[in-house]
Amino acid sequence: MGIMKLKTVLIDLDHTLCSTEQGVEAALEHFAALYHLTNRNQLKKQFGIINNNLFQQHLTGHYSIDEFRLKRYEQLLDQNDIPRDSRLSLSTEAATFTDLMNRKCVLFNDALDFLKHLKTKPVKIGLLTNGPADGQRTKLESLGISDFFDEIFISGETGYSKPDEIAFTHAMNVLEGRLSHSVMMGDSLEYDIAPAVSLGMQAIWLNRSGKQPIPDPSITTVDSLKWIQAEDFFFHSDW
């Protein structure tokens, strides 16, 4: 297994470098405290269903990002039978809820060392992430990792979302990289790996849980960034 003449690295953010679970838990804890709710497991399940359903409608253009955030919070209130006259300012609380979700996300324990290691190599590094500009920028500010990247590509800023191939080619054009000398690292086969491979890039699938089946043995698959760092199989000083 090897990747030759690597010059450009694209890396995903959510579920690759950082976990969003802690942010969700912090936001739900705040919500539960405001409205004196005790069943945290039920609240988490409700949020998961509401968030997934509304986000799909946002992706299809049915709701703007601001409408999505407001409706998500409002439906969570409705699901928990919070009386209208007991509710606080919807827009203010929805904004606080979203901010907590983004600010309380955390790096995986292998991410910082990997980024430090990668930064010592003669490659250009780009972050390629889907999401609203304000939310992803808040995460990056909280995580303190922006300086590791030569360029940051957020779909809410560029207008190009994975898995559309233009998201990848746009990033490569800005970084002045060649697809054949580049690699994409991410946790999603659909959004990160498949489009990169289709374009002729190398790809490394980060399957942290190890539970998903490997669809193609030719895809380089790891369960930790530590493995890539330890092997260092494609970062050679003579490239």
In a domain? residue 237 = no
In a domain? residue 162 = yes
Based on the fold, state whether residues 144 and 128 are members of the same structural domain: yes
| Residue 152, domain extent | 8-19+106-231
User: Where is the domain boundary, 87, 103, 119?
Assistant: 103
Based on the fold, state whether residues 36 and 142 are members of the same structural domain: no
Q: Would you state the pLDDT for residue 3?
A: 44
- Give the residue among 132, 61, 135, 133 at the shortest CA–CA distance from 97: 135
Q: Would you state the pLDDT for residue 155?
A: 93
Based on the fold, state whether residues 88 and 125 are members of the same structural domain: no
107 and 82 Cβ atoms separated by less than 8 Å: no
User: Where is the domain boundary, 61, 87, 103?
Assistant: 103
Based on the fold, state whether residues 66 and 141 are members of the same structural domain: no
Based on the fold, state whether residues 13 and 112 are members of the same structural domain: yes
The model carries a pTM of 0.88
Is 200 buried (19+), middle (13-18) or exposed (0-12) by CB count in 10 A? exposed
Based on the fold, state whether residues 96 and 193 are members of the same structural domain: no
Based on the fold, state whether residues 133 and 206 are members of the same structural domain: yes
Based on the fold, state whether residues 62 and 12 are members of the same structural domain: no
Based on the fold, state whether residues 44 and 77 are members of the same structural domain: yes
In a domain? residue 72 = yes
Instruction: Give the per-residue SS3 of the chain.
Output: CCCCCCCEEEECCECCCEECHHHHHHHHHHHHHHCCCCCHHHHHHHHHHHHHHHHHHHHCCCCCHHHHHHHHHHHHHHHCCCCHHHCCCHHHHHHHHHHHHHHCCEECCCHHHHHHHHHCCCCEEEEEECCCHHHHHHHHHHHCCHHHCCEEEEHHHHCCCCCCHHHHHHHHHHHCCCHHHEEEEECCHHHHHHHHHHCCCEEEEECCCCCCCCCCCCCEEECCHHHHHHHCCCCCCCC
**Residue ranges of the chain whose pLDDT lies below 70:** 1-4, 217-218, 229-239
Number of domains the chain contains: 2
The domain that holds 131 is classified in CATH as 3.40.50.1000
